[in-house]
Amino acid sequence: MLKTILTVVQLISAVALTAVVLAQSGKSDGLSALTGGSSDTYMGQNKSYRLDAKLAKATKFVAVVFILLTLSLNMF
């Protein structure tokens, strides 16, 4: 019974980890960096960085949970 519960929680954490990683913005600007033009304002950039910082923390937390669940399931 415990193994089934841990497996379901691990599946949920795997989906959450995938969603958090995909929600993060890319680190490069792509071709728009070559032209020098940027449509982002200063306030918009700061908002983006705050959101990216929260997503990075969430990624670390969910990854640790996923790893701990994987190790505990491996022990059973």
Q: Could you tell me the two tokens for 28?
A: 């490069």
Query: Does the model's pTM come out above 0.75?
Result: no
Nearest-5° angle of CA 73, CA 14, CA 6? Answer: 30
pLDDT tens digits for range 44-60: 566 667 888 899 999 99
pLDDT tens digits for range 9-42: 999 999 999 999 999 887 765 555 556 555 555 5
The residue type at 43: M
Q: Of 76, 72, 59, 73, give the one whose Cα is nearest residue 14.
A: 59
